[in-house]
A and B are shown apart, each in its own frame.
Chain A
Amino acid sequence: MSAEKHSPLAQFEIKRFVDIDIAGVDASFTNSSLWMIITIVAITLMLTLSMRGRAMVPGRWQSVAELSYEFIANMLRENVGSEGRKFFPFVFSLFMFILFSNMLGLIPYSFTSTSHIIVTFGMAIVVFLGVTLIGIIRHKGKFLSLFVPSGVPAVLLLLLVPIELISYLTRPVSLALRLFANMMAGHTLLKVFGGFVVALGMFGVFPLVAIVALYGLELIVAFLQAYVFTVLTCLYLNDAIHLHH
């Protein structure tokens, strides 16, 4: 344990608690699963308990719930318009899930499910496929005009359309990579500095100051990355619905 724990990457290890196999698919309950469950329970508790009173003048927790609701509602309205309304529950769930995963991951000895590329990629690919499907269903063949830049001679199109296509395919990768990289970098850095504090003993005050500052920064990053992921989802949704970027 001791040798393992000192590696700043050890915190990302997946530990299997219960081996589960569903039709040949490995569905083992791991520390990642545990923290995902904690995440959704925390979100649910926060949003339901705080609204229990349904007070006209909201208390602190109710304000938080209402603010997050309006935050995402405004984001959708601004970036997608009125057609975005029916995607509100999905976008809201996405934002809350990422935000809470990021935030809960900052608790010492916890696990950050969003620091795993497969999780962020899973979410990104769902967004990507969903958005592409919405675009195709809404606009049929006209959806392809998304890859044809306007006002460009036909010869150049031969070059530009593949580029646009690759650019489009890059979306889920960068979406997933951005969140994953930010989460992993932040947590690794925290762990490294935390190691310094322990190693330096008394003189650990200096890295301690650094770690407090870093912690504050990571809280901002945790929010910002959830925000960026969600905003980009909205922007992609807007592209698919309105066919322009």
Chain B
Amino acid sequence: MPQLIIADFSPQLVWLVISFVALFFVMSKVALPRIGEVLEARQERVTSDLEKAESLRGEADDAIKAYETALAEARASAHNTAQAARDEMNTKAEAKRGEVEAKLAGQLAEADARIAAAREEAVGHIRTVASDTAKTVASRLIGVDLDDAAIEAAVAGSMTEGN
């Protein structure tokens, strides 16, 4: 077995030591710090990225909430405004109608009064004419001068009867 040739031991051990020590130095001074650095940097990056994404997600949530409340507020205020406008319009229309109705009622009453006055007047005229006529008729027919009071009473009595 070639592995048991004692004479070959020493060069192998010498070169094992040389190469292993060299490897150890290269690894500990160059290669491993470099890899460690990169791994650490990546770890930091991943952690910070995740945190950022999560905080952004939170912000987005807040924004959505704000948007929704704003929307609800706007909706409510729009509703209120519409209601107010409607109410105002209603009251205005109501007032106008009242006004018009009152005016109409006034005019009606006025007209009524005018008619009543006219009738009164007419009736008054009729009475005078009737009394005059009655007086004339009486004086001509029977030659009696009736006093005015009696005639007027008679006329009034007949008019109410005739009515």
Please name all residues of chain B whose beta carbon is closer than 8 Å to the beta carbon of A88 when the two chains form the complex: 32
Among A14, A70, A122, which residue has its beta carbon within 8 angstroms of that of B2? A14
| Stretch in A23-31, A130-138, A148-156, A235-243 with 4+ CB within 8 Å of B | A23-31
Q: Is B22 an interface residue (CB 8 A)?
A: yes
1/0 per position for B25-64, CB-CB distance to A under 8 A?
0111011101111110110010000000000000000000
Q: Is B19 an interface residue (CB 8 A)?
A: yes
| Stretch in A40-48, A190-198, A203-211, A218-226 with 4+ CB within 8 Å of B | A40-48
Interface size class of A (residues with CB under 8 A): 35 or more
| Stretch in B9-17, B111-119, B127-135, B151-159 with 4+ CB within 8 Å of A | B9-17
Q: Is A92 an interface residue (CB 8 A)?
A: yes
Taken together as a complex, chains A and B put the C-alpha atoms of A13 and B5 apart, in Å, by 9
Taken together as a complex, chains A and B put the C-alpha atoms of A119 and B124 apart, in Å, by 157
Q: Is B163 an interface residue (CB 8 A)?
A: no
Please name all residues of chain A whose beta carbon is closer than 8 Å to the beta carbon of B30 when the two chains form the complex: 44, 48
Knowing A12-B1, A37-B19, A56-B42 are in contact, say whether A26-B7 is a contact too (CB < 8 A).
yes
Q: Is A66 a contact partner of B24 (Cβ separation < 8 A)? A: no
Please name all residues of chain B whose beta carbon is closer than 8 Å to the beta carbon of A123 when the two chains form the complex: 16, 20
Among B8, B16, B20, B38, which residue has its beta carbon within 8 angstroms of that of A93? B20
Knowing A44-B23, A44-B26 are in contact, say whether A116-B3 is a contact too (CB < 8 A).
yes
Most buried by A among B16, B17, B34, B36: B16
How many residue-residue contacts, CB under 8 A, span A and B? 132
Please name all residues of chain B whose beta carbon is closer than 8 Å to the beta carbon of A22 when the two chains form the complex: 14
Q: Is A118 a contact partner of B3 (Cβ separation < 8 A)? A: yes
Knowing A39-B19, A113-B16, A119-B16 are in contact, say whether A27-B11 is a contact too (CB < 8 A).
yes
Q: Is B11 a contact partner of A28 (Cβ separation < 8 A)? A: yes
Q: Is B39 a contact partner of A66 (Cβ separation < 8 A)? A: yes
Q: Is B2 a contact partner of A13 (Cβ separation < 8 A)? A: yes
- CB nearest to A26 among chain B residues: B10
Please name all residues of chain A whose beta carbon is closer than 8 Å to the beta carbon of B34 when the two chains form the complex: 47-48, 51, 54
Among A36, A54, A55, A56, which residue has its beta carbon within 8 angstroms of that of B15? A36
Taken together as a complex, chains A and B put the C-alpha atoms of A56 and B38 apart, in Å, by 7
5 closest A-B pairs by CB: A89-B28, A33-B15, A47-B31, A36-B19, A27-B14
Sample of 9 A–B contacts (CB below 8 Å): A14-B5, A26-B11, A30-B12, A33-B11, A37-B15, A44-B26, A44-B31, A116-B3, A117-B4
